[in-house]
Structure 1
């Protein structure tokens, strides 16, 4: 009977059912990715524990516990929205990033991974790594944000427009302790300094160590609310750290920072892209030969 039911379900299986399964699988995958990358994992485990206790209480007919958990679950959805607000906001922002979806579905280049900007990004990364190394040696506090898919125009408006090439001298001037802009963040867009002295959202992560202050919370905060890469240098310890996807990674040196930023910010030409380019060149060569042959025949 069970086998016949399975066969009957497959006989009525339609293309829309496959699309339904793909969408649900994608949403679950994205949810698990958000949970694994952020502090939402602890909250998610707590919610699962509450659900498990509720099922046990319902099975054993524990009326008091069931009533209490029923009362709690009535406002559970609103509570989850409040608790997961940063993660939900970040997920919705990424869903709305049309250039990111176009890049994945139609192989269209986004704003930060445009191959024409490779040179600008490589020069900017070298300057950023040189500056981070010097700031680490002199224990100069610094906070640098590299914009990717998420538009940071709201953050840029909180600072002072700069619109300058990224080099060691400019970054050194921005974060020199005596300048008005040294307490804020410098925003790098398309390999250029867009603004400096910008105010970033602060993270509420309670796991940050006591040796990490407002700069580190701002560094982690922008990584929690966008897909930007943020680099921070501690003025107390000189430690270089980097934040991505709501995770703060510490103790970088110049070489490891350079390698990581190149991997994150400079797109690599895939085999498919190489094949596509070669195919187009071959077709153009054949077309050119055909046109030349027709001209020779006409003469």
Structure 2
């Protein structure tokens, strides 16, 4: 027993002696990717299917172990063709996952992200958000259905092509006219790009989520579908109840009043100014170094943040 114990310690010592920093990085990266994959699967309708795939793998392993040749052959063929079937069936989920990878942030700095919009664009966004909130409140009072999509990093050119390009400034009258019942564009969605109405009457993909409440109509399903396939924000006004909702990342936030909608849109659509973004990035880096972030005053004195 003592010989086996010392042999075990010797094996552990050999492993540690050959262990390199690259091996640690390799383990961390694989663990992180595995965790992100699990989180992604749990957020989609593929969760139940993954359980079935695991059962097939276990059954295939046991059939090989117990020399059940016919069952093993059938299971192997199912698994071979199953990969192609998964790609076809879950194309929207795969596309969304790749888009999320493209929007990955490292140390609060976006990859392939354009420079921060200037102050003029920030002011236009503030005005546009306030205008949309005013219009949503009015349409809620009058029970006028509406669906407004705010483009962010995901390019919505394919969605814009399904509607009528307007390139118009945002104002309450324009939004009210577009969604007024009887107008040609009232059934579609309005797409907002760079704080302007880019197009109206656009067709959005419907959500495939089977858990959506039956009292939600096509507008809500379209808003959820759009938010599931991109990082866009979708504001919905119910024609039946007048309830204002916002869809983000496949989640519908309901029963919003004007102020709550304004706060959510401003938080999501208006980025921090360059100075604030730089300070936030520096605070993240300082935490990673294990140091307390500090600010330097004008006269050169240091003070704790």
Separation in 2, partners of 1:255, 1:55: 57
User: Counterpart of 1:114?
Assistant: 117
Gaps of 5+ in 2: 1-6, 286-293, 301-305
Q: Per-residue deviation at 1:226?
A: 0.8
Q: Which residue of structure 2 lines up, in the alignment, with residue 258 of structure 1?
A: 262
Give the superposed CA RMSD.
3.4
Distance 1:48 1:33 in 2: 17
Matched residue of 1:248: which SS? strand
Quick one: structure 1 residues 106 and 252, their matched pair in 2 at CA, closer, same or farther if it must change by over 3 Å?
A: closer
Q: Could you list the per-position Cα deviations for residues 175-213 of structure 1 after superposition, in whole angstroms to 9, with x for gaps in the alignment?
A: 111221111111111222211111212222222222223
Cα contact 1:94–1:150 (8 A) shared by 2: no
Segment of structure 1 superposing worse, 106-115 or 76-85: 106-115
**Where does the alignment leave 5 or more consecutive residues of structure 1 unmatched?**
287-299
- Does residue 92 (structure 1) correspond to residue 98 (structure 2)? The answer is yes
**Structure 2 residue matching 1:128: 3-state secondary structure:** helix
- Output one character per residue of 1:62-97: Cα deviation in whole Å (capped at 9) or x when no partner: 7776565444323222232233211111122343x4
Pair 1:103–1:52, CA change in 2 (3 A): closer
Question: Which of 69, 80, 101 is the matching residue for 1:74?
Answer: 80
Distance in 1 separating the partners of 2:162 and 2:262:
28
Tell me the residue number matched to 1:205. 209
Distance 1:92 1:124 in 2: 30
TM-score, reference length from structure 1: 0.77
Q: Compared with structure 1, are the counterparts of its residues 231 and 47 closer, same or farther at alpha carbon in structure 2 (3 Å cutoff)? A: farther
Alignment of 1:114-193 (within 5 A): 114=117, 116=119, 117-193=121-197
Alpha carbons of structure 1 residues 167 and 82: separation in structure 2 relative to 1, 3 Å: same
Q: Distance in 1 between matches of 2:107 and 2:165?
A: 32
Partner of 1:8: 14
Q: What number of residue pairs does the alignment pair up?
A: 280
State the shift of 1:137 in Å: 1.9
Residues 108 and 281 in structure 2, CA contact (< 8 A), matched pair in contact too = no
